[in-house]
Amino acid sequence: MSESITMLAMFEDLDPTSEGIDKLYELGLGDDEMNVISGIPIKHTILGRPSAITYVSRIGMFGAILGMFLGLFFIYGIPYLYPLLVGGQPIYPVPQGIIITFEMTMLGLMGFSFIGMFVDSGFPSYTPKEYTPEISDGRVAILFSCPVADQKKFVDALTKAGAHSVEPAEARHL
């Protein structure tokens, strides 16, 4: 297998960035081989990329189901285990049971969604991340890997697409 080099293409605006991504597609790179770095969130459809896969909704739904079962246990399980007979009152109160079940369902949904957001985003991350100070000034960067032999072809294609600079990505002190 040939050696590859990690390149960083810097763009001034979103239009040349989307053209640069199209050029990378034409040169044979896939979505998993490039990373768009921006100082502001950019919707995936603007750059013609597929949407990010997230599991937060599934994790939140699991929490909602777990919370609902916990609420049902509070309403029906505890009075079954420890019946407390009070004159004229039902053992299993329905109106209060609906409220408690709803609240426990929402508590499970919110708690697991919050935890799922961190799990899905990979927080905390102990690996170094790519960052360039020019990104804070409003530029958009594409980080990609290409074969060393084809480096000039990639640089020429991205420069024609409107890249401000295309150079090897290297670690530098901030």
Cα 20 to Cα 3: distance, rounded to the nearest angstrom: 23
pLDDT at 113 (0 to 100): 96
Go through the domains of the chain in sequence order and give each one's CATH number: 4-40+138-168 (3.30.70.120), 56-121 (no CATH)
Spatial contact of 19 and 151, defined as CB atoms under 8 Å apart = no
Among 44, 43, 45, 36, smallest CA distance to 17 is for 36
What would the pLDDT profile of 48-61 be if each residue is shown by its tens digit? Answer: 777 778 899 999 99
Residue-wise pLDDT for 133-163, tens only, equals 788 788 888 888 888 888 899 888 989 988 8
Strands (E), 41-164: 140-147
> Mean pLDDT for each 10-residue chunk of the chain (174 residues)?
81 87 88 84 77 88 97 93 85 90 97 92 74 79 87 89 84 58
> What pTM did the predictor assign?
0.64
